[in-house]
């Protein structure tokens, strides 16, 4: 059995290692989940909600301790662990506690008149066993939210946390013990890529993946083998547009927070800023002042994953080689920690990796635009489409621009926060992924939807059933015109035959 190393990236301290699951253990875990599945699926939702309440109570009883531990496993500062991990999880649990019954109730829909007497509805049923594969940047939030959504929808869940912050998997196990779930309903398969691949190969009923585009491709290819549905929440290169009429103080604060929170390791980080040339200098000055005021270990944390520091450095080198200017920051710590200075870069363009590829680090590149069309063209010029931000005091303009942004999420005079509203669906377009969770769709995405058309069963036949007769053809043609034609009175001419045929469905014929 091998173990995963857990370091505190902000201090270099080595913490308790975590035992990795072998492929055999994953298979055995899947069998346990399969055995638990019928019992959990038939547990009433109201009872499942009581388990979730226990988790919320445990989390809210231990807010400080959880935030401290999450900070030690990831290098993020305590406040960010609280604001961006613990709080949104509690918020999301409370949202589903209040709304799950309504969201998962059978949903009545209309029935066309030709099926007169019938009624129709959609039923939401558990899918079986869900595999949730999570990343390291928000290892608590991005694990617990999909896991709870899947559990509430009546599924058993196997979570594969990231090997980069393996202590968080253990922390999640501890939190979930407070729920006292039946055996096999929720399991944490600790491990790295091999464990993830074994989980994908163990044929879950759905794979919910959050991580990089490269891994997303591999998971989708593996899932295709058995036609397993996948939901992919992938990377981003999120643009922020600052118009000349924006409140520059707010825009600068937002850019600095949006780029440097969680050391820029946010899928929805501000990774490209386009600012109108008329306010560029004023905006840049404010951004530099605010960046200079950030305190290491208090306002910004360390990065989490050593290879990510190298990616940041590569992007910066490439940008500088192509003519960009590092206005501030740009250096990695040399004290054995993973701190990287908050970095502002000007003079950038779309020939640079820094403006094309996901940097996922504390770097804020800024370039100018002249017209709304140019800002939109630049913002949409990306393989990604996760989030975008628009800053202007003209809300009509903001909404016009929003309609033209190719993006799964948009924030107006805000950054990142659309994800924090549990009522809003969340997900990407283009290579930022496929599928949505959060909000009502966050439970539907873990459900099989069964469409039901129900007749009281007393009529001998329906109008479209045998036998076909010339009268039936005439009635159907008349009905088509009456319901959908340009001149409905034409259809009305056939009312006698329509009525006769409709009523005829109630008559027994030999
Ligand atoms: P990653 O793709 O390297 O790893 C994610 C998870 O996949 C890990 O648990 C890893 O062990 C597992 N994995 C790796 N190879 C696998 C395989 N072949 N089969 C099954 N599982 C496998 O991503 P990461 O570096 O942990 O996370 C950073 C990325 O995640 C960034 O691109 C970021 O933008 C993205 N992200 C997206 C969102 C979102 O909601 N859209 C949120 C956070 C992070």
- Tell me the pLDDT tens digit for each residue of 229-240: 999 999 999 999
3-class DSSP state of 107: strand
Annotation marks residue 19 as catalytic: no
CA pair distance 37, 186, nearest whole angstrom? 10
**How are beta strands 363-369 and 270-276 bridged, if at all?**
parallel
pLDDT recorded at residue 258: 98
To test ligand 1's pocket by mutation, which of 146, 204, 211 has the most ligand atoms within 8 angstroms of CB? Answer: 211
Q: How far is CA 293 from CA 279, 298, 342, in A?
A: 21, 11, 10
Q: Roughly what angle, to the nearest 10 degrees, separates helices 167-177 and 63-74?
A: 160
Measure the CA dihedral 173/179/180/182, to 10°.
Answer: -90
How far is the C-alpha of 393 from the C-alpha of 248, rounded, in Å? 10
* H runs (alpha helix) in 405-494: 441-444, 470-484, 488-492
Question: What is the β-pairing status of strands 14-19 and 3-7?
Answer: antiparallel
Kindly give the distance from the C-alpha atom of residue 425 to the centroid of ligand 1, in angstroms, as a whole number: 20
Residues with CB under 6 A from ligand 1: 133-137, 142, 160, 162-163, 192-193, 196-197, 200, 210-212, 215, 218-219, 233-236, 267, 358, 360, 386, 428, 433
> Which ligand 1 atom minimizes the distance to the CA of 236?
34
**Residue for token digits 């409905």?**
488
Q: What is the 215 CA–ligand 1 centroid distance (Å)? A: 6
Classified as helix, coil or strand, 239 is: strand
pLDDT in tens, 23-52: 999 999 999 999 999 999 999 999 999 999
User: CB burial class (10 A; 0-12, 13-18, 19+) of residue 470?
Assistant: exposed
What are the residue ranges in the chain where pLDDT is below 50?
Answer: 510
For the chain, what's the residue count? Answer: 510
- What pLDDT, on the 0 to 100 scale, is given for residue 508? 84
- The encoded tokens of residue 365 equal 């590149």
Distance (angstroms) between ligand 1 centre and the Cα of 208 equals 11
Residue 38: CB atoms within 10 Å: 12
pLDDT at 490: 86
- Residue ranges in 278-386 assigned as alpha helix (H): 280-292, 306-321, 353-356, 372-380
Q: Which domains does the chain have, with CATH numbers?
A: 21-234+439-450 (3.40.605.10), 238-422 (3.40.309.10), 460-503 (no CATH)
How high is the pLDDT of residue 491? 86
Pairing of strands 129-133, 119-126: unpaired
Token code pair at residue 20: 């990795």
| Å from CA of 233 to ligand 1 middle | 9
Distances 279 to 139, 324, 367, 392 between C-alpha atoms, Å = 38, 19, 11, 12
Considering the candidates 233, 271, 327, 501, report the single residue annotated as catalytic. Answer: 233
Rounded CA-CA distance 122/444 in Å is: 11
Burial grade of 228 (CB within 10 A; 0-12, 13-18, 19 or more): middle
Q: Roughly how many angstroms between the first and final C-alpha of the chain, as a whole number? A: 74
The pTM of this model reads: 0.97
Atom index in ligand 1 nearest the CA of residue 161 equals 9
Q: How far is the CA of 134 from the centre of ligand 1 (A)?
A: 6
User: Distance (Å, rounded) from C-alpha 327 to C-alpha 320?
Assistant: 11
- Whether 159 and 189 have beta carbons less than 8 Å apart is answered as yes
What is the full DSSP assignment across 135-157?
-SSSTTHHHHHHHHHHHHTT-EE
Give the contacts of 427 (CB within 8 A, at least 6 positions apart).
Answer: 231, 233, 408, 433, 434, 435, 436, 437
Q: What is the residue with the minimal CA distance to atom 19 of ligand 1?
A: 197
Cα separation, 233 vs 134, in Å, equals 10
Q: Which structure tokens are listed for 487?
A: 């001149």
Please list the alpha-helical segments (H only) found in 213-279: 213-224, 248-260
Contact 129, 228 (CB under 8 A): no
């Amino acid at each position: 059995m091998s173990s995963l190393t857990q370091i505190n990236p902000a201090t270099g301290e080595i913490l308790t290692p975590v035992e990795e699951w072998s492929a055999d253990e994953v298979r055995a875990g899947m069998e346990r989940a399969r055995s638990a599945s019928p019992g959990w699926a038939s547990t009433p939702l109201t009872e499942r909600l009581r388990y979730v309440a226990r988790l919320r109570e445990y989390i809210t009883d231990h807010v400080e301790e959880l935030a401290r531990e999450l900070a030690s496993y990831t290098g993020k500062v305590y406040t960010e662990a609280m604001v961006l991990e613990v709080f949104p999880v509690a918020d999301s649990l409370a949202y589903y506690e209040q709304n799950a019954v309504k969201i998962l109730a059978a949903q009545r829909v209309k029935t066309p008149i030709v099926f007169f007497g019938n009624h129709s509805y959609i039923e939401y049923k558990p899918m079986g066993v869900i595999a949730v594969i999570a990343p390291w940047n928000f290892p608590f939030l991005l694990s617990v939210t999909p896991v709870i959504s899947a559990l509430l929808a009546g599924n058993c869940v196997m979570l594969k946390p990231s090997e980069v912050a393996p202590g968080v998997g253990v922390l999640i196990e501890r939190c979930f013990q407070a729920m006292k779930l039946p055996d096999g309903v929720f399991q944490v398969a600790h491990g790295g890529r091999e464990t993830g691949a074994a989980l994908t190969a163990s044929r879950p009923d759905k794979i919910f993946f959050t991580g990089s585009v490269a891994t997303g491709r591999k998971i989708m290819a593996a899932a295709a083998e058995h036609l397993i549905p996948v939901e992919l929440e992938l990377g981003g290169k999120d643009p922020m547009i600052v118009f000349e009429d924006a409140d520059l103080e707010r825009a600068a604060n937002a850019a600095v927070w949006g780029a440097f929170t969680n050391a820029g390791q946010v899928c929805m980080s501000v990774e490209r800023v386009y600012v109108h040339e008329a306010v560029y200098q004023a905006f840049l000055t404010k951004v530099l002042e605010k960046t200079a005021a950030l305190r290491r270990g208090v306002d910004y944390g360390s990065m989490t994953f050593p290879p990510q520091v190298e990616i940041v450095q590569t992007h910066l080198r490439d940008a500088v080689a192509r003519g960009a200017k590092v206005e501030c920051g740009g250096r990695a710590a040399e004290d054995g920690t993973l701190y990287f200075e908050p970095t502002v870069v000007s003079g950038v363009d779309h020939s640079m990796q820094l403006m094309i590829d996901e940097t996922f680090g504390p770097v804020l590149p800024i370039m100018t635009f002249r017209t709304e069309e140019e800002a939109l063209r630049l913002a949409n010029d990306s393989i990604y489409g996760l989030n975008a931000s628009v800053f202007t005091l003209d809300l009509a303009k903001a909404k016009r621009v929003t309609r033209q942004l190719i993006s799964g999420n948009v924030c107006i005079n805000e950054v990142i926060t659309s994800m924090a509203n549990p009522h809003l669906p969340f997900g990407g377009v283009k290579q930022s992924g496929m599928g949505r969770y959060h909000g009502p769709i966050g439970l539907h995405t873990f459900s099989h939807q069964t469409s039901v058309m129900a007749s009281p069963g007393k009529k001998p036949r329906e109008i479209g059933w045998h036998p076909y007769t010339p009268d039936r053809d005439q009635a159907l043609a008349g009905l088509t015109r009456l319901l959908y034609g340009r001149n409905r009175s034409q259809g009305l001419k056939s009312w006698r035959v329509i009525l006769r045929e409709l009523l005829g469905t109630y008559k027994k014929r030999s």
